[in-house]
Structure 1
């Protein structure tokens, strides 16, 4: 008997060789070690398969958002250093230590919290100090971090592995904010030299920094979305060759003729101007495909770009083939990816949906089966 999950006509295909190629391009571009960011299910590509492939490709470290993601990687056998980038939730500190995860320490109180748990367990904690240079999310302000750094350097139970900040505007190469953040971060790091403490790994560059700001590369870079071949922002410049790793494909499951004046989908917001042919695709916002693409998105079907007709439903949507278009049940439909020399990129979908590529990728949920090639 066939597995109904593997028989679903919609699936995400992840080309792991593209992820590996992107890692090599990034490393050649920056010339420093790389922390591959695999948070949010590796930006929708699959946490464990992507992390395993990056480890096999020689990535230096991995970064995740939450301790749960780090534990999942440890349970999958990943032995690389893993930094949890998010803020600490006190009851979970012991879990960081038990699973040998590196901790973001973002305040003096958090430092004391980590020290207390580490002492109770008799296990040293590996920490990265978070400096806020303008993001105003987590971290000690750069202008008042001297005491924080001194306390961390004097800690008996914490080993400082790194010190870092996060860039707020690096996706836009024209923003002056990045230069200001670089200056603030340099001033903060100078405290290590002033107190005679060893300089830990300094890391600042996210994907935008890798693309546009060599002054942010320092000792380590933290690429996220560009590892998967997607530019972070319409203002971003493709300063290195990237290959998109993710495709989203489906199949036609229904075909009909809608007469002129007929309406399609919820709300009757789309009306056929003439007799036209409509195909139904079994993907919807319940899979993370944006409802904002209603009557504005496109798919690739039989060598043509076909527009979405009416509202995207929870589990399916319809496309307009026009009065002369043809489709058959089980024809392949490309929602993201390439077909016969044409392409729909994640960046295209984000623009049509009025959002950012990050939201498109991370919104594609586990209801869509994932298949891996090239790994």
Structure 2
């Protein structure tokens, strides 16, 4: 017998034991707050790494509908996926480019980040062959040391770009190294990078040339360095309602876009002086009610939160106990009642309590960026929004599972 099963992520035949909710209204609110803060600068929505774990296509389609006019990704594969999904506005690949990938940029009208004179020459040669100008942003290294031409050598880089007939200079970019920090020396370094960038791009004014679109401001800089806005800003993590560092919440109110839930799959009472989970790192001091949730580090939930993290049940905070397993974690519910199937909040609100990604990473000294992108496809996504229900069909992703039995 051949059985074909279809369901939509977040809705369908199977009740999910864990899922995330992506609040598109919150995403829209954050975009509008950023646009309001940066004034006339354009907002390039950074949707790399699956939109920081929120869903590349779903979030990008929604943001384009909300008025976003530029997207930034890390790799050409992400850009092509967006084009095939109907994204029509400019897309810039922010990362390094392999020479053999250049034809794909031309075919799909993707903008290229050129990081060296050699890359410029290769791009021009390919564009000449295909008879199509390449839209290029010139990357200047002002102090991060990753990719790009050193700012002291920018003039020769710019002169080369101008001399190449099949290169269209769309923008000039750089990237901050310390924008997430409030330490005085780090803020000073960020300002120095901004100054280097401004001085380098004055080349175009000196030569009577149109100024390309200048962009250097990431989420941290948007919050604490207005002079870095220039022509485009590049919000990433803040777009999704997460702060680069917790202390930055004072700069701008953001709405978390992602919430994470799981259902209890097991309940038991551990007797006094009983240890649990791998390594036996936690032990009861009395008879203790414990529930098991079907979420673990295999889903991207950090094992570093073992014996440190907490969850919410009916507006009450309960601790994670023992080492988090690949697929499960245990929760101490004290004297409270719980039943299999009850919903538990891992990230989000319950009653007047809230767990944010920033509050969780602060417990173990982690990175909110890493936390977001590690949450993986084992956790299904539900996309909700109230502004235009007619659009919701585009956020569902259909999967087909086939099972054959004899």
TM-score band, normalised by shorter chain: over 0.9
How much has 1:46 moved relative to structure 2? 0.4
How much has 1:90 moved relative to structure 2? 1.5
Q: Does 1:344 align with 2:352?
A: no
Contact 2:316 2:350 survives alignment (8 Å) = no
Q: Does 1:94 align with 2:103?
A: yes
Once the two structures are overlaid, the 10-residue window that deviates more, 254-263 or 348-357, is 348-357
Aligned counterparts, 1:200-349, within 5 A: 200-322=212-334, 324-349=335-360
What secondary structure is seen at the aligned counterpart in 2 of 1:176?
A: helix
Q: Distance in 1 between matches of 2:379 and 2:13?
A: 9
How much has 1:331 moved relative to structure 2? 0.8
- CA separation of 1:93/1:12 partners in 2, compared to 1, >3 Å: closer, same or farther? same
| TM-score, length basis structure 2 | 0.90
How much has 1:33 moved relative to structure 2? 1.0
Unaligned runs of 5+ in 2: 386-391, 393-406
- In the TM superposition, what whole-angstrom CA distance separates every residue of 1:178-231 from its partner, at most 9, and x where no partner exists? 110111001110111223321100111100111110110111111111111111
Find runs of 4+ consecutive structure 1 residues off by over 6 angstroms: none
Q: Does 1:130 align with 2:142?
A: no
How much has 1:7 moved relative to structure 2? 2.2
What secondary structure is seen at the aligned counterpart in 2 of 1:80?
A: coil
Contact 1:302 1:327 survives alignment (8 Å) = no
Contact 2:260 2:348 survives alignment (8 Å) = yes
What secondary structure is seen at the aligned counterpart in 2 of 1:145?
A: helix
Q: Distance in 1 between matches of 2:6 and 2:286?
A: 42
Q: Does 1:361 align with 2:372?
A: yes
Unaligned runs of 5+ in 1: none
Q: Distance in 1 between matches of 2:249 and 2:6?
A: 46
Contact 1:5 1:369 survives alignment (8 Å) = no
| TM-score, length basis structure 1 | 0.97
- CA separation of 1:6/1:177 partners in 2, compared to 1, >3 Å: closer, same or farther? farther
Given candidates 67, 78, 92, the residue that maps to 1:69 is 78
How much has 1:280 moved relative to structure 2? 0.1
How much has 1:2 moved relative to structure 2? 8.1
Q: Distance in 1 between matches of 2:272 and 2:165?
A: 77
Q: Does 1:54 align with 2:29?
A: no
What secondary structure is seen at the aligned counterpart in 1 of 2:42?
A: coil
Given candidates 38, 59, 70, the residue that maps to 1:30 is 38
How much has 1:6 moved relative to structure 2? 4.7
Q: What count of residue pairs does the alignment treat as equivalent? A: 374
How much has 1:5 moved relative to structure 2? 7.7
Contact 1:108 1:148 survives alignment (8 Å) = yes
Once the two structures are overlaid, the 10-residue window that deviates more, 237-246 or 71-80, is 237-246
Contact 1:153 1:197 survives alignment (8 Å) = no
Given candidates 185, 197, 208, the residue that maps to 2:197 is 185
